[in-house]
Amino acid sequence: MNLSTPIENISGIGDVFKKRLKKMGIETIRDLFFHFPRRYEDFSKIIKISEVKINEVCTICGKIKSIENTKTWKKKMILTRALIEDKSGTILSIWFNQPYLTKILKEDDIVFLSGKVVFDKYGMFFSNPIYEKISKKDFSLDDLTHTGRLIAVYPETEKISSRWFRSILKPLLLSFRNKIPETLPEKIIKENNFLPINEALFQIHFPDSKELAEQAKKRFSFEELFYIELFVLKERLKLSKEKAIPIVFKIDLIKKFVNLLPFKLTDAQRKAAFQILKDLEKPRPMNRLLEGDVGSGKTVVAAIAALNTIKNGYQVAFMAPTEILAKQHFQEIFKLFKNFNINIGLLTGKNDKFYSKKLKNDFIEISRRKLLEKVLNGEIDILIGTHALIQDKVKFNKLGLVILDEQHRFGVEQRAKLCRKTSINKPEEKTVPHLLSMTATPIPRTLSLTIYGDLDISIIDELPKGRKKIITKVIDKKDREKTYNFIRKEVKKGRQVFVICPRIEENNKNNEKNENLTEVKAVKKEYEKFSNEIFPDLKVGMLHGKLKNSEKEKVMKDFKNRKIDILVSTSVVEVGVDVPNATVMMIEGAERFGLAQLHQFRGRVGRSKYQSYCFLFTDSLNKKTKERLKALINCENGFTLAEKDLEIRGPGDFVGTRQWGVPDLMMDSFKNISLVEKARNSAKEILEEDIEFKKYPFLKEKLKEFKNKIHLE
Ligand code: ADP
Ligand code: MG
């Protein structure tokens, strides 16, 4: 048996558990070893029965004097009552609704019991303690697995109990002790005083003390961060050795463009644009992230970079995560470049239409084939689109700049693929296009040092002048009617409304109980309700991801042209959609969305001179939800909200971290800046010393494995 041995070869794992484990992604012994506990329970205090105190957690050891099942007189519950005796005294133990226990625990058995002693109508007794039967003669405390020590508690999934994991893991780990190959360079282990892998693995599952559990956790957290750093730093190093076309900063051109804008750029926009234009002048590929709150005006900054690139004679690719957004960028860019004689192409899903701006003030529809031809021969200056841009058949003539909007919506590989698109006209020069990514979801510093590999960052930290603060409120159930009346008034004033629902269709029927609990608002149902019952006098529209492209387009167009008053939608409107006349954002099931996402929704309104509102509806007001919604109400700054989101929810739900497949227990490490920096420095040292990992073949292996683990969407 080695670490790659499939789990079905382990004695004690049959078909049922094999299936359950596979569902959790556990297929080999290695996977099992690296399925880490979520937390620990401390049962290490072993005392005499006479020393037991009420409400204290402890462990006792004694002989079962008697054990029997009894029914409570209301016959609602089965109690298993056992009397336990040691030299100091006796105590009662009661298990509730576990009658099978009398088959396992018998009179005269020696047992350890861990748990809490309570006092109520049954007297003083151990309530539902964890038991461990001792059958060995030469028993020692080291043999304890479930009681009398720190006990690992595993994430509750797929009907596998923590007890089961502990029972399987202990003998396995013991048989592998000192046989598991080290995965960190010796030097790093020494420098940081880390536990060696064999010890660390044992301690993380069966810790001898809290300190050792913490040390093991620290080692694995470091290791996780270390691989991420190795991976991103290596990619970055590779990129810095590539060549790019220097794009000359055409000052007069940019001045002219800025002067023709219908508004004055904010200082933050100017600064960001300047940083980007300076960066583009270098013969190395730019890799810059433009961070700016929703509505801060990132598009126009990207347009400046695009214009400068195009007038240097190179093409631009502009990719957005949804069709709606790509279409909107196309229209926006079309307007912005009206006076600059630029050909613009739009390329989206399979059945979409394609346009190309032809010198005049209008755009025409051309076939997909024609469009691709024009991209290839260089006639199209800027190609805007969705994932469709990544396809192999899309070939550029001389691609100079790639722009990614809402970059966190794209997988690592998708980003890389677009950037690898080289130009066809001078293959001997082999250049890489510059990359400008944009996001409205600010990235906390620890994350930007890890998964974003220390990108260069430009920040737009101010909104255009004259925007009013959006009034955000959690609406009480009883005030629903009032809110509807308010919405009607807003519409009568000429404004428009977004309604966001978390799901498209109702959950399936067999889940009815759950359904009632959370009362999932389905878009379709909600749409019917709004159009037939609540606002029969108003024009209600519906938007969701399952509509056909042409239908989506029509809905968005109608909404923009005020043919729709109220748009009921799923989260497809989350990113970027710009309808300045909308002033109310109503969100159903607000607890189902992350803070960053809620902030994005809110950013759909408040884009004009009118006062705007964000109304939050929720059925679950647990502590975390309350805390999150409160943060949203009190804070309008996306950067602060991002740090808060990381704090409240942890990075598990945070942009990008899921893609990296980091285990739950390690997630906290993303908040630990000093550990992140340590991992980063170690990774740098290793890469400087030996970038091909000749000395460290296990790192090469691990990195390959790591690369496969990253979800490539
Ligand atoms: P985001 O950063 O969320 O992508 P957009 O680029 O969509 O924001 O800009 C939001 C809106 O603000 C657009 O309608 C845009 O024309 C407008 N806008 C951008 N910059 C300014 C500015 N400096 N002054 C006024 N309005 C602006
Ligand atoms: Mg945008």
Paired tokens of 21: 């484990």
Relative to the alpha carbon of 290, which ligand is closest?
1
Residue 544: CB within 6 Å of ligand 1?
A: no
CA of 382 to the centre of ligand 2 (A): 17
Q: What is the mean pLDDT of residues 344-361?
A: 66
Give the confidence band of 508 by pLDDT, cuts at 50, 70, 90: very low
Find, among 166, 158, 138, the residue nearest to 12 by Cα.
166
Task: Please give the order of strands across the beta sheet that includes 613-616.
Answer: 471-474, 613-616, 582-587, 496-500, 566-569, 540-543
Find, among 21, 26, 32, 34, the residue nearest to 204 by Cα.
34
Q: What is the pLDDT of residue 507?
A: 45
Paired tokens of 448: 């930007």
Q: What is the pLDDT of residue 503?
A: 63
- Regarding whether 615 and 543 lie in a shared domain, the answer is yes
Q: Enumerate the H helices of 617-696 as residue ranges.
A: 623-634, 638-649, 664-667, 673-689
- Regarding whether 413 and 274 lie in a shared domain, the answer is yes
Residue at 231 is within a domain: no
Residue 295: CB within 6 Å of ligand 1?
A: yes
- Regarding whether 529 and 411 lie in a shared domain, the answer is no
Whether the model clears a pTM of 0.95, i.e. scores above it, the answer is no
H or E stretch covering 364: strand 363-366
Q: 305 Cβ partners below 8 Å, 6+ apart?
A: 273, 276, 277, 280, 401, 403, 436
Give tens-digit pLDDT for 513-530.
343 333 345 678 888 889
- Regarding whether 484 and 620 lie in a shared domain, the answer is yes
What phi and psi, each to the nearest 5 degrees, are found at residue 671?
-90, -10
Residue at 21 is within a domain: yes
CA of 440 to the centre of ligand 1 (A): 12
- Regarding whether 135 and 33 lie in a shared domain, the answer is no
| Rounded-to-integer distance, Cα 208 and Cα 480, Å | 55
Residue 496: CB within 6 Å of ligand 1?
A: no
CA of 319 to the centre of ligand 2 (A): 11
CA of 389 to the centre of ligand 1 (A): 25
Residue 122: CB within 6 Å of ligand 1?
A: no
Residue at 96 is within a domain: yes
| Rounded-to-integer distance, Cα 473 and Cα 629, Å | 9
Burial track 403-421 (b if 16+ CB lie within 10 A, e otherwise):
bbbbbbbbbbebbebbbeb
- Regarding whether 117 and 8 lie in a shared domain, the answer is no
Find, among 373, 588, 413, the residue nearest to 497 by Cα.
588
CA of 299 to the centre of ligand 2 (A): 6
Paired tokens of 73: 């007189």
Residue at 450 is within a domain: no
Q: What is the mean pLDDT of residues 699-713?
A: 67
Q: What does DSSP say about strands 566-569 and 496-500: parallel, antiparallel, or unpaired?
A: parallel
Query: Higher pLDDT residue, 467 or 166?
Result: 166
| Rounded-to-integer distance, Cα 359 and Cα 347, Å | 19
- Regarding whether 578 and 492 lie in a shared domain, the answer is yes
Q: What is the pLDDT of residue 62?
A: 94
**Contact status, residue 437 vs residue 301, Cβ threshold 8 Å:** no
Paired tokens of 195: 């536990």
Residue 266: CB within 6 Å of ligand 1?
A: yes
Relative to the alpha carbon of 579, which ligand is closest?
1
- Regarding whether 166 and 76 lie in a shared domain, the answer is no
Residue 294: CB within 6 Å of ligand 1?
A: yes
Relative to the alpha carbon of 295, which ligand is closest?
1
Residue at 202 is within a domain: no
Residue 538: CB within 6 Å of ligand 1?
A: no
Lowest mean pLDDT among 195-199, 351-355, 407-411: 351-355
CA of 494 to the centre of ligand 2 (A): 25
Residue 315: CB within 6 Å of ligand 1?
A: no
CA of 300 to the centre of ligand 2 (A): 9
- Regarding whether 55 and 33 lie in a shared domain, the answer is no
DSSP symbols for 432-460: --EEEEEESS---HHHHHTTT-S-EEEEE
pLDDT reading at 373 higher than 70: yes
SS3 category, 8: helix
- For a ligand 1 pocket test, name from 271, 299, 318 the mutation site with the most ligand atoms within 8 angstroms of its C-beta: 299
Query: Higher pLDDT residue, 24 or 332?
Result: 332
Q: What is the pLDDT of residue 517?
A: 33
CA of 576 to the centre of ligand 2 (A): 4
| Rounded-to-integer distance, Cα 218 and Cα 679, Å | 11
| Rounded-to-integer distance, Cα 80 and Cα 96, Å | 6
- Regarding whether 362 and 274 lie in a shared domain, the answer is yes
CA 82 to chain centre: 48
Residue 440: CB within 6 Å of ligand 1?
A: yes
Q: Which of 180, 199, 226 delimits the end of a domain?
A: 180
Relative to the alpha carbon of 465, which ligand is closest?
1
Q: What is the pLDDT of residue 653?
A: 52
What phi and psi, each to the nearest 5 degrees, are found at residue 669?
-60, -25
Q: What is the mean pLDDT of residues 82-105?
A: 92
- Regarding whether 310 and 428 lie in a shared domain, the answer is yes
CA of 560 to the centre of ligand 2 (A): 16
Query: Higher pLDDT residue, 667 or 129?
Result: 129
Give tens-digit pLDDT for 266-310.
999 999 999 999 999 999 989 898 988 878 899 999 999 999 999
Tell me the range of 110-124, 359-373, 464-478, 513-527 where mean pLDDT is highest: 110-124
Give tens-digit pLDDT for 530-573.
999 999 999 999 988 778 877 887 888 899 889 999 999 887 76
Residue 578: CB within 6 Å of ligand 1?
A: yes
Report the CATH number that the domain containing residue 92 is assigned in CATH. 2.40.50.140
Give tens-digit pLDDT for 150-200.
999 988 776 888 999 999 999 999 999 888 989 899 999 999 999 999 999
CA of 298 to the centre of ligand 1 (A): 7
Residue 600: CB within 6 Å of ligand 1?
A: no
What phi and psi, each to the nearest 5 degrees, are found at residue 68?
-160, 155
pLDDT reading at 129 higher than 90: yes
Residue 299: CB within 6 Å of ligand 1?
A: yes
Residue at 186 is within a domain: no
Average pLDDT, the chain: 84
Give tens-digit pLDDT for 53-67.
999 899 999 999 999
Query: Higher pLDDT residue, 362 or 702?
Result: 702
End-to-end CA distance of the chain: 34
pLDDT reading at 14 higher than 80: yes
Relative to the alpha carbon of 294, which ligand is closest?
1
Query: Higher pLDDT residue, 647 or 253?
Result: 253
**Contact status, residue 559 vs residue 496, Cβ threshold 8 Å:** yes
Paired tokens of 130: 């964890």
Give the confidence band of 693 by pLDDT, cuts at 50, 70, 90: confident
Query: Higher pLDDT residue, 537 or 661?
Result: 537
Q: How many helices (H) and strands (E) does the chain have?
A: 24, 22
| Rounded-to-integer distance, Cα 126 and Cα 114, Å | 8
**Contact status, residue 349 vs residue 386, Cβ threshold 8 Å:** yes
CA of 44 to the centre of ligand 1 (A): 60
Give the confidence band of 408 by pLDDT, cuts at 50, 70, 90: low
Q: Which of 613, 635, 657 delimits the end of a domain?
A: 635
Q: At what angle do helices 210-240 and 673-689 cross, to 10 degrees?
A: 50
Q: 700 Cβ partners below 8 Å, 6+ apart?
A: 692, 693
| Rounded-to-integer distance, Cα 663 and Cα 642, Å | 21
Residue 336: CB within 6 Å of ligand 1?
A: no
Number of domains the chain is built from:
4
CA of 25 to the centre of ligand 1 (A): 44
| Rounded-to-integer distance, Cα 499 and Cα 413, Å | 34
Give tens-digit pLDDT for 209-260.
999 999 999 999 899 889 888 888 887 787 778 888 999 999 999 999 999 9
Q: What is the pLDDT of residue 579?
A: 86
Residue at 589 is within a domain: yes
Residue 606: CB within 6 Å of ligand 1?
A: no
Paired tokens of 613: 């509102």
Q: Which of 393, 421, 439 delimits the end of a domain?
A: 439
Residue 576: exposure state from Cβ atoms within 10 A (0-12, 13-18, ≥19): buried
Burial track 341-354 (b if 16+ CB lie within 10 A, e otherwise):
ebbbbbbbeeebeb
Q: What is the pLDDT of residue 109?
A: 92
Range of the domain at 562: 471-635
Closest protein CA for atom 16 of ligand 1: 297
| Rounded-to-integer distance, Cα 272 and Cα 439, Å | 13
Find, among 146, 156, 169, 163, the residue nearest to 20 by Cα.
156
**Contact status, residue 588 vs residue 571, Cβ threshold 8 Å:** no
Q: What is the pLDDT of residue 703?
A: 80
| Rounded-to-integer distance, Cα 38 and Cα 302, Å | 43
Closest protein CA for atom 13 of ligand 1: 297
Residue at 305 is within a domain: yes
Query: Higher pLDDT residue, 606 or 421?
Result: 606
Residue 297: CB within 6 Å of ligand 1?
A: yes
Report the CATH number that the domain containing residue 371 is assigned in CATH. 3.40.50.300
Nearest ligand 1 atom, CA 298 = 2
Name the percent of the chain lying above pLDDT 70: 86
- Regarding whether 514 and 369 lie in a shared domain, the answer is no
